Amino acid sequence: MSLSSTQEFEVIKMEYQQKLASLNKKKQRGVSSSSFERTKSAASHLHTRYVVDLQTMESTIAEINRLRDQQLYPKLLELVKG
């Protein structure tokens, strides 16, 4: 994941949190069901994007760790042993 992807992930996370807050406010105020459903749908869409991005990030981290453990660490040991 690139830096911009990480930044996009954070933006989606913030937007999702804002939609949830808006959804809760609308629920408390008892706004029309159509307005509530639109906000609920938008929050659901953001949640899906958030989960997909999170899984992508976790997959990237796992691959970096695998490369470190399988390729870089053995080379480091060789260098240390001289």
Query: Tens digit of pLDDT for each residue in 10-66?
Result: 999 999 999 999 999 998 999 889 999 999 999 999 999 999 999 999 999 999 999
Confidence at residue 24, expressed as pLDDT on a 0 to 100 scale: 93
Q: How many CA atoms lie within 13 A of 34 on its CB side?
A: 0
| Per-residue pLDDT at 2 exceeds 80 | no
Note the pLDDT of residue 6: 82
Rg (CA), the chain: 21
Q: What is the DSSP string of 49-65?
A: HHHHHHHHHHHHHHHHH
Picking from 26, 21, 19, the residue whose alpha carbon sits closest to that of residue 42 is 19
For residue 1, what pLDDT is reported?
56
Among 56, 43, 55, smallest CA distance to 17 is for 43
**pTM of the full predicted structure?**
0.72
Structural domain that includes position 33: 3-81
The domain total for the chain is 1
